[in-house]
Structure 1
């Protein structure tokens, strides 16, 4: 896992520099569904998951003025924006579903607004295009930030002979001055003092740009036959220095996780 962590730090450093040192590192997807599908449009969910969305009319172009990403801490960053067509193309490209034979959703208009996005520096308010759709009150939103300003980490390819090891953390919490980082993850429900229980510790691999957290398991016993039941667990790791603006990454794929900064 230490080797995985070192590789993850190297990939993140490369992605960060490829984006020109951009501070915007979103966690998860940049598309939002606003509202719920009506009974008559329930099958639109599969259509959207397949990225079958197309414009039925001319959409707004690139805004003349730059946009701003504003973090919950009050810091901000000016960024170039993209057109509604470009953002819609990114929405389609991010699709992972399959809906062969489905008719595309029709976009009837778009307006520039904002959405809240989890990032490696906490929640951020981000410029976004909001799309109206034909025959439904559901709207779609997609971040309008130019891709050159976004740090995107590519996970390593799956290798069945050498699967990625370790527990992937899901979120992290710290303060502006503390060296302690508390992480959450899905683990065993009970402590190691009980059958099938596990206690957890952690260690961190660090660079100037990111931190990878390795969760360490202390099991009640090896090779126990245990039910496949998980619970949210947490543990705290001490860093060599306060986190600052560094990203927190999980160890299995090296992807960034959401951060909460308090105090």
Structure 2
């Protein structure tokens, strides 16, 4: 496991009206964070140290489905997409990923058929009665992808479909250049505990990292409310943010209503090119660099 550093930054006044977090629960989250850093390091090594870490899926729908094509959305979700004719190979062997901060990375490209196969494999929905979407053509273009280093423009295949004006885009980047993190299976040894952050914001020089997450609508001074602080588990390649919750009271019967909350944690050094991971599954979250 990678060595990691714990850095705490609590909200002003946190816990003054609410209950203290259970020590054993916090220790469990710290262990999860350490394991997440180790898995991320392994994923980066498997990708040859590549810094391209996309957040979310690499498929985009371009346009809205027409009312007459009611099953098309479900078919796409299930990955039911097939080529109606031979699709082209990449017109060049390499392309460039360009980040908003001006940095770039050259990567190998894959054919339209190979990217379509990835699109099919990424399907997770159920549409057993749906007819597959038929791809009638493809051209090499670009698409914008959220990454752990901010948004990036990546080479992508732009597919046309039979019977609709909607197009599909899929990243044309060779999988060997993509860092993909596999979360642990959920079970007694991996309970996936804690609040998962949804996004992060920082600057190029600041040690402050602001994260958003879904929490209690009100503060801990009110029934069913909570205040929040954070800890950061850090390595050379990533940061895992642990959200610490100070509830109004333990075991309150509260409605299942959440609100977007945020808190700021101070890192040991500026984030740089490190990824920000959520603690539940160790998956990367989108990063915005404001200056």
Cα distance in 2, alignment partners of residues 104 and 193 from structure 1: 54
Secondary structure at the aligned position of 1:17 is classed as: helix
Cα distance in 2, alignment partners of residues 163 and 130 from structure 1: 40
- Quote the offset at 1:164 in angstroms: 1.4
Runs of 4+ in 1 over 3 A off after TM superposition: none
CA 1:26/1:227 → structure 2, altered by over 3 Å: closer, same or farther?
same
- Quote the offset at 1:63 in angstroms: 2.9
What is the aligned partner in structure 2 of residue 46 from structure 1?
Answer: 74
Matched-pair contact (CA < 8 Å) for 2:81–2:133: yes
Q: Quick check: 160-169 or 106-115, which moved more? A: 160-169
CA 1:69/1:161 → structure 2, altered by over 3 Å: closer, same or farther?
closer
What is the aligned partner in structure 2 of residue 102 from structure 1?
Answer: 130
Q: What is the correspondence of 1:87-98 to structure 2 with a 5 Å cutoff?
A: 87-98=115-126
Task: Give TM-score scaled by structure 2 length.
Answer: 0.89
Q: What is the correspondence of 1:1-263 to structure 2 with a 5 Å cutoff?
A: 1-159=29-187, 163-263=191-291
Cα distance in 1, alignment partners of residues 130 and 240 from structure 2: 41
Cα distance in 2, alignment partners of residues 171 and 220 from structure 1: 25
CA 1:161/1:75 → structure 2, altered by over 3 Å: closer, same or farther?
closer
- Quote the offset at 1:203 in angstroms: 0.3
- Quote the offset at 1:162 in angstroms: 5.1
- Quote the offset at 1:62 in angstroms: 2.8
Cα distance in 1, alignment partners of residues 75 and 171 from structure 2: 20
Aligned alpha-carbon RMSD (Å): 0.9
Task: Give TM-score scaled by structure 1 length.
Answer: 0.98
Matched-pair contact (CA < 8 Å) for 1:206–1:212: yes
Cα distance in 2, alignment partners of residues 78 and 227 from structure 1: 50
Q: Quick check: 69-78 or 161-170, which moved more? A: 161-170
Aligned length: 263
- Quote the offset at 1:119 in angstroms: 0.2
- Quote the offset at 1:65 in angstroms: 4.0
- Quote the offset at 1:50 in angstroms: 1.0
- Quote the offset at 1:160 in angstroms: 5.6
Matched-pair contact (CA < 8 Å) for 1:105–1:134: yes
Matched-pair contact (CA < 8 Å) for 1:25–1:120: yes
Secondary structure at the aligned position of 2:164 is classed as: coil
Matched-pair contact (CA < 8 Å) for 1:63–1:82: no
Higher relative contact order (CA 8 A, sep 6+): 2
CA 1:197/1:49 → structure 2, altered by over 3 Å: closer, same or farther?
same
Cα distance in 1, alignment partners of residues 213 and 91 from structure 2: 40
Q: Quick check: 143-152 or 46-55, which moved more? A: 46-55
> For residues 63-99 of structure 1, what are the alpha-carbon distances to aligned partners after superposition, in whole Å with 9 as ceiling and x for unaligned?
3241100001011111000000000000000000111
